[in-house]
Amino acid sequence: MATPQPDDVKTRLRSLIPATLMTVLALPLLIGLGIWQVERLAWKEALIASISEGVGKEPAPLEHPAGAWKSLSGKEYWPVSVTGHFRHQDERHLFATDGGDFGWHVYTPFETEGGNIVFVNRGFVPDALKSSSSRSAGQIEGQVTVRGLLRKPGVRGWFEPDPDQTRNMWYWRDLTGMTASLGSEQDRARVLPLFIDAAAAPANPGAWPKGGVTRLDIPNRHLEYALTWFGLAVTLVAVFAAFAWTRLRAPR
């Protein structure tokens, strides 16, 4: 086997520079994505556990005793109940789909007995019924008790557009924006920092909005994704090592 000359070794080492740079840049990214998926796994498991814990429980009163909502506000998907009346003139429409049909979730401010305001997702309506005037039979008037699941404010995704307040179109559970869109400072100061997804029963008069829209069968594939990213990191190291060994070994 021939002994490599110094100049030949330097040439081979220089030939590794592009692959080394790419590996150094890509490896932390792959490991970071794997760690992020592990963190998401812990979050998702806690969320699923919270859903399982709340399913089947009697709804907890949101305002009894006074201020009870403060201890409930962290319990995502927890069954709650609250009494008051809807303010249909201030409903907000959030883009949604149902069984492949495009439409809207109707978020209506609900003025509670305790003097607070909470946005209630009354359910889904197809686009043809977006206007409240087209479904007057579904507008519940007077005092009523709403039962449903507690939801936290949403987080805007990377590809979600700004709300079009002029056309009353929203694209995520934007509590800050919906609150700011209310007419008076007094109303805005009374909005609770949470949403309620109304239950499917009892159904609204005229069948719309269709309640019970909360998705409870939440997928959890984060462990699979984490193993994929870590596996790619290991593969990258192995490929680089094989490539470097091939480049650096002396010719026979």
Neighbours of 120 (CB within 10 A): 22
Domain, as residue range, for 244: 1-11+18-55+217-252
Q: What does the pLDDT read at residue 143?
A: 86
pLDDT on residue 137: 66
> Does residue 235 have a pLDDT over 90?
yes
Q: Contact, 230 vs 31, CB < 8 A?
A: yes
66/187 same-domain check: yes
Asked if residue 96 has pLDDT above 80, the reply is: yes
CA 78/CA 148 separation, integer angstroms = 8
Asked whether residue 156 falls in the same domain as residue 181, the answer is yes
Average pLDDT over residues 173-197: 88
Would you give the DSSP letter of residue 183?
S
Specify the higher pLDDT residue, 47 or 6. Answer: 47
Alpha carbons 41 and 222: distance in angstroms, whole number: 5
Assess whether pLDDT exceeds 60 at residue 6. no
* Separation CA 107–CA 87 (nearest Å): 10
Domain presence at residue 212: no
Q: How far apart are CA 42 and CA 39, in angstroms?
A: 5
Confidence of residue 9 (pLDDT cuts 50, 70, 90): low
Mean pLDDT estimate for the chain: 83
Asked, for residue 224, whether it belongs to a domain, the answer is yes
Three-state SS at 197: strand
Query: How many whole angstroms separate alpha carbon 81 and alpha carbon 103?
Result: 26
Q: Are residues 78 and 122 in the same domain?
A: yes
Quick one: tokens of 91?
């409903």
Residue 130 C-beta-side C-alpha neighbours within 13 Å: 15
Shared domain check, 163 and 91: yes
Domain membership of residue 234 (yes or no) is yes
Same domain, yes or no: 50 and 64:
no
- The answer to whether position 143 is within a domain reads yes
Domain match, 78 and 42 both = no
CA distance 92 to 175: 11
**For a pLDDT cut of 90, what percent of the chain falls above it?**
23
DSSP string of 28-71?
A: HHHHHHHHHHHHHHHHHHHHHHHHHHHTTPPPEESSSSTTTHHH
* Number of domains the chain contains: 2
Residue 199 placed within a domain: yes
Distance CA 197, CA 123 (A): 7
Cα separation, 175 vs 179, in Å, equals 6
Q: Are residues 191 and 221 in the same domain?
A: no
pLDDT band of 250, cuts 50, 70, 90? low
Would you state the pLDDT for residue 144?
87
CB atoms closer than 10 angstroms to residue 17: 9
What was the pLDDT predicted at 11?
A: 72
Considering the domain architecture, whether residues 152 and 200 belong to the same structural domain is answered as yes
